[in-house]
Structure 1
């Protein structure tokens, strides 16, 4: 077996083309996202981005198939031969190399559309004589010829309104083309004992090439993502789970949004964009309330995977412990507050130190309510394991000094952690 690290051609086919597949998948994914956000096939800028992403993605995918299917002898000649941007010509070249890929009539027509766009319309508006509405005319003509579903023309512009049927139609055309090329890449790579087809997990390319959709419709990926986002929103609004992250969100005073517009805002956010109206509303609210950079920093922590809210909760628990050990509160209040604070941690049942502390608090509360005073014993027991607690959580005395003021004797609820 030839060593792909020593053979420059195999190295080129395996590693560089593997990266190209991810790039191609990213372009195609971004194109489908743009399709999701188009409401009307009227704005040239939106249709340009749609067609550009799809044209680049599919072209790069075609060229990976060519690289894997041809015997490369003179690398300079071969590289020059890849400079074509004609999708139909590239597909015909793939077929001449013995590929069994067969595209349907509407798939071939879509390749031709992409070829015309990339060759004639990509820089068309930089020429005085070209048509201003080239992308709109191309897409409208394609829809009218190959889409058999129902669509509406906008009353004011006459342009075609995008709908779920059209999104699914384009999703099936684009998804089928992409899948056929990817499967051919996988077949050719396996024949040569290389791994070009392997795709990085959690990448956009994985969503395009490795997911299984009805009739290969990439629109199902958009639908799945929107449903998942909506489910997360519902969960965050309805959950009663005690968690440091949820506690942090609940501690923030919300802005005064117009509830009548909330669903409109969510529609755009879930589709992958944020309306300028929403941005302007937030800016106005910030000015009205005198919010400073601290509010921005507060918001920045949400949706930031580098922030570990458990760490702040641990500091809260430590502040409660220190206050108790320093005789800054009565034992019964401490035991109740500590049980509440620990309930927000995720590792309660996997941590022997916390389990022991919780058991001591529960036992003390029960004895106290039965009229038995075990305050001295409780404090001594906690003194014995406090250092172990700090060592386990890597707590240093200089960390989070603001957490000293956490305990409120009259209320088990505590201040916000930041």
Structure 2
């Protein structure tokens, strides 16, 4: 089957772009899920950056599929896509499609547009030392006004990033994903192309196909697996393999402290220091590391005889 350059561009290049968009949105939501509170400026930045890029790229896919045709001046059209204004891109889409966005969604779009245009560069400016971090402040203000709550950013007594907040952020961002992805599907059907298809093992599948915008299900699955492994009889070969190396003598002052590390390992460095200290007491660390290569390796089946 042969394609014109325009068809190949829309069918395949934009298909890859759709996955990239979903990956950015996934990464942004996951970074927000890992935020324990609202003290650190870099965590707010990471969330806003990923979401702003992901939504912008999704908007541009819609613009291309809606506006571009055989009469389009390609050079002028591509120049028009060099924009980071989420509000303007949404207006271009709304000229052709009805998008069901409320005031909260429009407010978030404006926040993302401002962040990407100016706030993300504020720390390169000397005057930034005389005022609170704008990106974090505006994100907090958006959440406070939307949920009618007060968020403290003081080191002592800093407000927790509660599940209610995570759910709200996920639902709000999910609205953009649903509305824009629906437009992508409609335009693909009109044009007879398959840009909307998403690989089932990708991050983007969770965003566009599963329409899941928080990580509560993944947390439950992790805990169900952990519970199963702890309570059930494990394969004999696996048990023998586990018993072939002694466990480290961890302090074990709080069981949930260690379990939490399994789910959010890059957020906690105290346990890493504890493990590194215990490793200094092991005669052959290289041998122990070799032993661990087989745990969690899906190509190794302990259920087999050999």
Given the two structures, how large is their TM-score scaled by the length of structure 2? Answer: 0.91
Indicate conservation of the 8 Å contact 1:88/1:112, yes or no. yes
* Structure 1 segments of 4+ aligned residues over 6 angstroms from their partners: none
Structure 2 CA distance, aligned partners of 1:42 and 1:274? 14
Alpha-carbon contact 1:151-1:162 (below 8 Å) kept: no
The answer for unaligned runs of 5 or more in structure 1 is: 315-418
Question: Counterpart of 1:80?
Answer: 79
1:185 is aligned to 184
3-state SS, counterpart of residue 118 of structure 2? helix
Kindly indicate whether the alpha-carbon contact (under 8 Å) linking 2:38 and 2:152 is maintained by their aligned counterparts in 1.
no
Determine the structure 2 residue equivalent to 1:31.
28
Measure the CA separation in 2 of the matches of 1:246 and 1:7: 59
Work out the CA distance in 1 between the residues paired with 2:158 and 2:117.
24
**1:115–1:272 CA distance, 2 compared to 1 (3 A):** farther
Q: Compute the RMSD of aligned alpha carbons.
A: 2.0
Is it true that 1:167 corresponds to 2:166 in the alignment?
yes
Q: Which residue matches 1:386?
A: none
1:278 aligns with 2:294: no
Q: Aligned-pair distance for 1:152?
A: 5.2
| Residues 268/87 of structure 1: CA separation in 2 closer, same or farther (3 Å cut) | farther
**1:187-243 Cα distance to aligned partner (Å, 9 max, x none):** 111111111110001110001111145xxxx12xx0000110111111111221425
**C-alpha spacing 1:31/1:260, structure 2 compared with 1 (3 Å):** same
Corresponding position of 1:209: 208
Tell me how far apart the structure 2 counterparts of residues 156 and 31 of structure 1 sit (CA, whole Å): 24
Task: For 2:265 and 2:62, locate their aligned partners in 1 and report how far apart those are by CA, in whole Å.
Answer: 31
Q: Is 1:255 the equivalent of 2:248? A: yes
Counterparts of 2:187 and 2:239 in 1: how far apart (Å)? 49
**How many Å separate the matches in 1 of 2:211 and 2:20?**
20
Are the structure 2 counterparts of residues 116 and 268 from structure 1 closer, same or farther at C-alpha, using a change threshold of 3 Å? Answer: farther
Q: Radius of gyration: which is bigger? A: 1
50, 57, 67: which is aligned to 1:70?
67
Cα shift at 1:141 = 1.2
Q: Does 1:115 align with 2:110?
A: no
Q: Which sits farther off after the overlay, 70-79 or 301-310? A: 301-310
1:22-47 Cα offsets, whole Å, 9 max, x none, are 11111111111111111221211111
CA distance in 1, matches of 2:79, 2:236: 58
Pairs aligned (count) = 302
- Structure 2 residue runs of 5 or longer lacking an equivalent are none
